[in-house]
Amino acid sequence: DFKYLFSPKQIGSTWVKNRIVSTGHMTNFVKDGLPTEELIFYHRERAKGGVGLITLEANAVHPTAFFTSHTIKAFQDGIIPHYEKLAETVHPHGTKMFVQLFHPGREVYPSGGSLAVSCSAVPTDRFRLIPKELEREEIIDIIKGYAETAERVQKGGLDGVEIVASHGYLISQFWSPRTNLRKDEYGGSFENRLRFLQEIIYRIREKVGSSFTVGLRASVDDFEKKGATFEEVLDNLKYLDQQVGGLDFFNLTGGSSATLMSSSFIAAPSPYPPGHFVAYAAKVKEAVSITVMANGRINDPVMAEKVLASGAVDMVGMTRALIVDPHMPNKAMQEELDRIRYCIGCNQACIGHFQQDLPISCIQNPITGREREYAAMRKTNHVKKIVIVGGGPAGMKAAVVAAERGHKVTLLEKTDELGGQVKLARSIPTREEFGELVSNLRRELTQFRVDIRMNTTADKELILSMNPDEVILATGATPYFPDIEGIELPHVLTAWDVLNRKKAVGQNVVVADWKGDMPGVGTALYLAESGRDVELFTSCYGVGYSLQQYVRDAMLARLHGKHVKMVPHYQLHKIEPSSVTFENIYTGQLVTKADIDHVILATGHIQNTDLYDQLKNHFPNLHRIGDCLSARTAEDAILEGFTLAANL
Ligand code: SF4
């Protein structure tokens, strides 16, 4: 049972019904600085699903505090009715809501963020910005902004505030001696560097009184050379707890926005292990008197229960677990663990969408971010017989959703294993968890009683003999071979050949990448980590260009660790028996690599249309989804399967 997970907890003056927290995360459901209806629907769904506490995303406390163009303007009274609406949305479900009081300082996204400001003009390597040094009067005005924003949250009927001092944002810029070079009372000694935060806490308490819940979010370690270490953070938190006072909780995370690598910890992808900040948070808990929360890939209620039972922390942030399955808490409470969809740490549609300026979603759960449209999946009034061909992500998702809606669904798969290209992705180092996507879908196929026929090659006769009302083709794609000299030579392999372990690969290999995505980068990593000498050429703007930033940087770190030579801006030109030539995409300059054993192609995929061509003039209700329409990402394939089946 989940004795600890579902026990209530008092934080300051706020009673939370269980220990599960959706921590602050950007949704991009903000227009003109105000929350949209989509944000209300998004959080309503999670509140309905049983989460105890939601912390609302970054709320700018000052006009200098825009992280992106989608940051909530909480420095004006116009936000109060929106807080009221959020309170009316989550409170009927017994869920409490805190608000993040946020100032990024120098860590602003170049598209839409404020002017970068900080305690000192110390550059951020991630965004390549050198901030303007804040003047004393500006510091005082920003402190006032924190306090007035907290008061607005209180007036709006929400339950508390979380001051964001994590991830290298403004407050931690002040507290680190490496980013705070000031000579006035806000810099220099330990006490001076914490003065900014101390004044924020005191001014907030003056505004909201002692009975409103106020906490702090902090990174346990910035994990970068110029950032705060765990020992420094621990000293800061002890000082705040024991000398400053006024705080009710610490919400502990890790990493810093300051560099590419340290920013990966903001939403660490797989293979960072689940619960990777818990051990740090446990040491903090031993040293302080207030509530301690930990987060960082705690994606499973069983693991969350163990963390809580061990006494390491008081509450667990399970943000991505709730993005992929907002009803996870209720399912866990009802002991329906096999109905939970688990996060695979891919980062593709949650933080990945934020970074692309798109609304939040989830690769596995397209309803996330589309709650307003789809929250209550409608049962069909007209049951159809649907045949789906292809057991990759698109076909599986279409089958699950159609069957969930009440249709009679048969899924035909020609191999003996479901998963399509996901089977390849999971054999890439760092992407092993991607296979969970298939496990999640397989469980749902069983739950909704889809008739799955494995080892079944579909053709026109078979399909027509099944007498379906609708046919959905999700027959996938095959590797694309560019039209260049030597492409047919025997030492030319595809990423599929390698990842399938179907062909022996020699010692000296060159990977030719086209798109900067997982087949090229992942295959190079797989080969390098299995002992080959690898060079990776890409015709793209950068190695891993199409990957979510944290995923890309985690992989690039490992590629560099294996001394893989990476060469951007070169496309395949010619292949000869033991050499390959690339051409610079800008200058046309040629580079030849000699004495190679294999050339590995990661040059895209072409749609498989055989069955479509057979059926298109013989069956009217014919649909194509996923890669057999045009090869894109697993997210696109799943979304297409979902959208089609939701509307049939
Ligand atoms: Fe998890 Fe990936 Fe969904 Fe994000 S997109 S919640 S990382 S499964």
Task: Give residue 111's pLDDT.
Answer: 77
pLDDT band at 444 (very low <50, low <70, confident <90, very high): very high
Within 10 angstroms of residue 115's Cβ, the number of other Cβ atoms is 12
Ligand 1 centroid from CA 481, angstroms: 32
Sort strands 470-473 and 451-453 into parallel, antiparallel or unpaired: unpaired
> CA-CA distances (angstroms) from residue 248 to 67, 149, 209, 216, 293?
26, 18, 13, 8, 11
- Cα angle vertex 312, ends 311, 318, to 5°? 110
Reported as a single tens digit per residue, the pLDDT across 285-319 is 999 999 999 999 999 999 999 999 999 999 999 99
Residues 572 and 626 in one domain: no
Distances (CA, A) of 623 to 336, 397, 538, 629: 34, 14, 34, 9
463 and 569 share one domain: no
**pLDDT of res. 224:** 92
Give residue 154's pLDDT.
98
**Do 410 and 527 share a structural domain?**
no
Cα(548) to centroid(ligand 1), Å: 11
Number of domains in the chain: 3
Query: 440: CA distance to ligand 1 center in Å?
Result: 13
Alpha-carbon distances, residue 285 vs 156, 171, 220 (angstroms): 31, 21, 12
Report the Cα 210 to chain-centroid distance in Å. 36
Q: Which two tokens stand for residue 545?
A: 């260009």
What tokens appear for 298 in the block? 């705690």
Whether 402 and 494 map to the same domain: the answer is no
The tens digit of pLDDT for each residue in 453-508 reads: 999 999 999 999 999 999 999 999 999 999 999 999 999 999 999 999 889 999 99
Q: Is residue 2 part of a domain?
A: no
Measured in Å, residue 116 CA sits from the centre of ligand 1 at 30
131 within 8 A of 121, measured Cβ to Cβ: yes
In sequence order, which ranges of 468-564 are alpha helices (DSSP H)?
495-499, 518-529, 549-561
pLDDT per residue as tens digits for the range 320-350: 999 999 999 999 999 999 999 999 999 999 9
Active-site residue, from 169, 280, 570, 612: 169
Task: For a ligand 1 pocket test, name from 22, 266, 324 the mutation site with the most ligand atoms within 8 angstroms of its C-beta.
Answer: 324
Q: Report whether pLDDT(415) > 90.
A: yes
- Mean pLDDT, the chain, whole residue set: 96
Q: What is the mean pLDDT of residues 15-33?
A: 97
Q: Is the pLDDT of residue 160 over 90?
A: yes
Lookup result for tokens 């010619």: 574
To the query of whether residue 169 is one of the catalytic residues in this protein, the response is yes
Residue 459, domain CATH: 3.40.50.720
Backbone angles phi, psi at 21, to 5 degrees: -120, 135
Checking if the pLDDT of 110 tops 90, the result is no
Inform me whether the pLDDT recorded for 374 exceeds 80. Answer: yes
Ligand 1 atom with minimal separation from the 361 CA? 5
Q: Which of 45, 300, 343 is the pocket-test mutation for ligand 1 (most atoms within 8 Å of CB)? A: 343
Nearest atom within ligand 1 for CA of residue 345: 7
Rounded to whole angstroms, how far apart are CA atoms 154 and 98?
Answer: 10
d(CA 610, CA 509): 33
Measured from the Cα of 320, ligand 1's closest atom is 6
Same structural domain for residues 180 and 318?
A: yes
Pairing relationship of beta strands 53-60 and 96-102 according to DSSP bridges: parallel
pLDDT confidence tier of residue 646, bands split at 50, 70 and 90: very high
421-445 burial, b at 16+ Cβ within 10 Å, e below that, comes to bbbbbbbbebbebbbbbbebbbbbb
Q: What is the 3-state secondary structure (H, E, C) of 173-210?
A: HHHCCCCCCCCCCCCCCHHHHCHHHHHHHHHHHHHHCC
Each residue's pLDDT tens digit, 176-222: 999 999 999 999 999 999 999 999 999 999 999 999 999 999 999 99
* Residue where a domain terminates, one of 373, 397, 420: 373
Locate all alpha helices (DSSP H) within 49-135, ordered by sequence. 80-90
User: What pLDDT score does 502 carry?
Assistant: 83
Q: Which atom of ligand 1 is nearest to the CA of 635?
A: 5
18/137 same-domain check: yes
**In the prediction, which pLDDT does 441 show?**
96
Q: Does the residue 45 lie in any domain?
A: yes
| Closest ligand 1 atom, residue 323 Cα | 6
Q: In 3D, which of 224, 268, 254 has the Cα closest to residue 553? A: 268
The arithmetic mean of pLDDT across residues 219-229, rounded, is 93
pLDDT above 80: residue 372:
yes
- Number of alpha carbons in the 13 Å side-chain half-sphere of residue 68: 18
Q: Say whether both 205 and 322 belong to one domain.
A: yes
Same domain, 490 and 628: no
- Per-residue pLDDT at 377: 75
- Nearest Cα residue to atom 1 of ligand 1: 343
CA 290 to ligand 1 centroid distance, Å: 31
Last residue within a domain, chosen from 344, 373, 402: 373
- Do 633 and 590 sit in the same domain of this protein? no
**Average pLDDT score over residue span 620-643:** 95
Q: Which of 25, 346, 368, 633 has most ligand 1 atoms within 8 Å of CB, for mutation?
A: 346
Distance separating alpha carbons of residues 194 and 400, to the nearest angstrom: 53
Query: What is the distance between the alpha carbons of residues 18 and 490, in angstroms, rounded to a whole number?
Result: 60
Nearest C-alpha to atom 5 of ligand 1 is from which residue?
A: 362
How far, in Å, CA of 508 to CA of 313, rounded? Answer: 49
Residue whose tokens read 């969970």? 436
Joined together, the tokens standing for residue 302 give: 């069983």
* CATH number where 348 lies: 3.20.20.70
Please list the alpha-helical segments (H only) found in 103-257.
136-155, 170-175, 190-193, 195-208, 230-239
Query: Do 130 and 256 share a domain, yes or no?
Result: yes
Residue 174 to residue 138: CA distance in whole angstroms: 14
Residue 430, pLDDT score? 87
CA of 342 to the centre of ligand 1 (A): 9
Residue that finishes a domain, picked among 338, 373, 408: 373
Give domain status of residue 265, yes or no. Answer: yes
Q: Binning pLDDT at 50, 70 and 90, where does residue 376 land?
A: confident
The pLDDT confidence band at residue 405, using thresholds 50, 70 and 90, is very high
β-strand partners of 494: 601
Residues with CB under 6 A from ligand 1: 320, 323-324, 343-350, 362-364
Percent above pLDDT 70 for the chain = 100
Instruction: Evaluate whether 402 touches 409 at the Cβ level (below 8 Å).
Output: yes
Contact 648, 386 (CB under 8 A): yes
| Atom 8 of ligand 1, residue of closest alpha carbon | 343
Residue 271 has a pLDDT of 79
Tell me whether residue 4 is in a domain: no
CB count in 10 Å sphere of residue 80: 18
pLDDT at 594: 96
Q: Whose CA is nearest to atom 3 of ligand 1?
A: 362
Query: What is the pLDDT, as a whole number, of residue 249?
Result: 98
Of 377, 373, 398, nearest to 625 (Cα)?
398
171 and 203, same domain (yes or no): yes
pLDDT recorded at residue 273: 85
Mean pLDDT of 413-421: 95
Q: What is the pLDDT of residues 27-65, one digit of tens each?
A: 999 999 999 999 999 999 999 999 999 999 999 999 999
Atom of ligand 1 nearest to the CA of 299: 1
Structure tokens at 57: 């995303």
Centre of ligand 1 to C-alpha 346, Å, is 5
Alpha carbon dihedral 334, 335, 340, 345, in 10-degree steps, equals 120
Distances (CA, A) of 633 to 74, 182, 267, 359, 630: 36, 47, 20, 17, 10
Residue 266, CA distances (Å) to 206, 438, 520 in order: 32, 26, 25
Considering the domain architecture, whether residues 155 and 13 belong to the same structural domain is answered as: yes
φ, ψ dihedrals at 513, nearest 5°: -105, 150
Radius of gyration (Cα) for the chain, nearest Å? 26
Alpha helix segments (H runs only) across 356-502:
371-374, 393-404, 422-425, 435-447, 460-465, 495-499
Q: Do residues 75 and 61 make contact, with C-beta atoms less than 8 angstroms apart?
A: yes
**In terms of pLDDT, which residue wins out, 375 or 452?**
452
Here the CATH number for the domain that contains residue 539 is 3.50.50.60
Q: From CA 375, how far away is CA 366, in angstroms rounded?
A: 11
Best residue among 322, 323, 328, 397 to mutate for probing ligand 1, ranked by most atoms within 8 Å of CB: 323
Say how far apart CA 459 and CA 598 lie, in whole Å: 36
Question: In a mutational test of the pocket of ligand 1, which residue from 344, 549, 635, 639 has the highest number of ligand atoms less than 8 Å from its CB?
Answer: 344
- Span from the CA of 345 to the centroid of ligand 1 (angstroms): 5
Q: How far apart are CA 261 and CA 556, in angstroms?
A: 10
Q: Give the span between the Cα atoms of 265 and 551, in whole angstroms.
A: 10
Would 639 be classed as within a structural domain?
A: yes
Alpha helices in 240-325 (DSSP H): 260-263, 278-287, 301-309, 319-324
pLDDT digits (tens, 9 = 90+) for 66-100: 999 999 999 999 999 999 999 999 999 999 999 99
Instruction: Give yes or no for residue 174 having a pLDDT over 80.
Output: yes
- The residue among 302, 240, 218 whose CA lies nearest residue 24 is 218
Task: Pick the closest to residue 250 from 210, 285, 226 (CA basis).
Answer: 285
Q: Which letter, b or e, does each residue of 242-265 get, where b requires 16 or more Cβ atoms within 10 Å of its Cβ?
A: eebeebbbbbbbbbbbbbbbbbbb
- What's residue 292's pLDDT? 98
Say yes or no to pLDDT of 596 above 80.
Answer: yes
The CA-to-CA distance between both ends of the chain, in Å, stands at 39
- Which residues share a beta bridge with 538? 513, 568
- pLDDT bin (cut points 50, 70, 90) of residue 272 is confident
Domain range holding 568?
Answer: 481-603
Cα 82 to ligand 1 centre (Å): 27
- CA 437 to ligand 1: nearest atom: 8
**pLDDT, position 270:** 85
